[in-house]
Structure 1
């Protein structure tokens, strides 16, 4: 049994390292092939590293490239994550940031286009997919991700305002450095990046599920065997057509858990009526798995 657990751990570690490497390749493509030629700034710490690269460009030996800047800016984040989140999380975040920094420096850009709109859209899409894919596989890409996790654990709140303020400064910087049209192009890139990341990383998208069934115990057991979710039971419901007794079950899941829910329902009550709708906001305790 111990051998099987060790093998599973090694497989998990190998998979996460592979994902981190894949992210590093994608972010380097976004930076070197699209953002840099198009004078577009990214969001978060990557955008700050690009800004540092631009501002130190004429300082000779003091020049800090985007790859090196990305790593240096993340160093205090590593210490914060080590103390507040966990060692395993910090190690994989370190590996992810290291791959990104190295790949940005090593992968030589291929000139595709200097059109800022194309560069903003495709750079944002490539980076958004890479970031979302990393998050989906349980790996943080560092930077504001770490601050967001710490703040959410301490206060239960997101850092949406901080993200908006930070990225607004990046966009304004793009305007000062390259001209105000480029601030708008960078804003377009940030929008595309966020949308693609949301499509790829579905764990933060919450959905309300209503199940109408005449086999409530079987359904509850099946759902809770497949995912860690609380369920509210409403007894005494009645079907309007046959006037047979029904039970209504309510729960909230993430879009990431949709496949698990479908499997649970297929196993427990394939004939149950299931309604799923997007949830705008959840107040109170909602379980989120640790990294």
Structure 2
């Protein structure tokens, strides 16, 4: 076989995609629960939903689902039907899980610094699982994945800039200590993506 030929990447089977959607959204939901328990914020549309949740007291899951609605058109046009449908399912699952997890998991003691690091790692790992199965959590995930596929820019780097910008807006609703820890969580999350999600490194579809 000619070494110059690019091997055809293996496609994920349906049950593998289902498992990835469940696992990825569960990881992210647990990270969000940790952030919510310690009063931290994250980036992306989840960060926007957190800001609205802290400011109004409205349900986070419903806010997260609503904030993502405008991005499905871009996902359908730029990333295709399969990506859009899996993203829609992932967003719905995350909205559901963020409401269910508090009834299943309780934190008696959770240090904000640990929450920022561990929660960021969990969300980064969960998003990585979704990305590798051609899904996302909507919003900025759609944009950064498109930019990576179109221009080869690292998704984690772009996401980090967007997320830190949103987290810095948290000065309006939380104190500077929680803002600083939220920025740390965003950096941990996106460094996880930047290190492990590079164009051409993972060949599954």
User: What's the TM-score once normalised by structure 2's chain length?
Assistant: 0.81
How big is the shift at 1:125?
A: 1.0
How big is the shift at 1:151?
A: 4.5
State the secondary structure of the residue aligned to 1:256.
coil
Give the 4+ runs in structure 1 shifted more than 6 A.
159-162
* Structure 2 equivalent of residue 17 of structure 1: 18
How big is the shift at 1:96?
A: 1.0
How big is the shift at 1:135?
A: 1.3
* Structure 2 equivalent of residue 94 of structure 1: 88
* Structure 1 equivalent of residue 197 of structure 2: 202
* Structure 2 equivalent of residue 27 of structure 1: 28
User: What's the TM-score once normalised by structure 1's chain length?
Assistant: 0.59
Q: 1:164 to 1:136 in 2, by over 3 A?
A: closer
* Structure 1 equivalent of residue 201 of structure 2: 255
Summarize the alignment of residues 194-233 of structure 1 with structure 2, pairs less than 5 Å apart.
194-199=190-195, 201-204=196-199
1:196-227: CA deviation from partner (whole Å, max 9, x where unpaired) = 2334x3343xxxxxxxxxxxxxxxxxxxxxxx
Aligned equivalents of 2:198, 2:152: Cα separation in 1:
16
Match of 1:142 among 117, 133, 138: 138
How big is the shift at 1:163?
A: 4.1
How big is the shift at 1:136?
A: 2.1
Summarize the alignment of residues 55-66 of structure 1 with structure 2, pairs less than 5 Å apart.
55-57=55-57, 63=58, 65-66=59-60
Q: Which has the higher helix share?
A: 2
Question: Any gaps of 5 or more consecutive residues in structure 2?
Answer: 1-9
* Structure 1 equivalent of residue 37 of structure 2: 37
Larger radius of gyration: 1
Asked whether the 8 Å contact 2:156–2:197 carries over to 1, the reply is no
Aligned equivalents of 1:68, 1:180: Cα separation in 2:
27
State the secondary structure of the residue aligned to 1:194.
helix
Higher relative contact order (CA 8 A, sep 6+): 2
Aligned equivalents of 2:190, 2:137: Cα separation in 1:
14
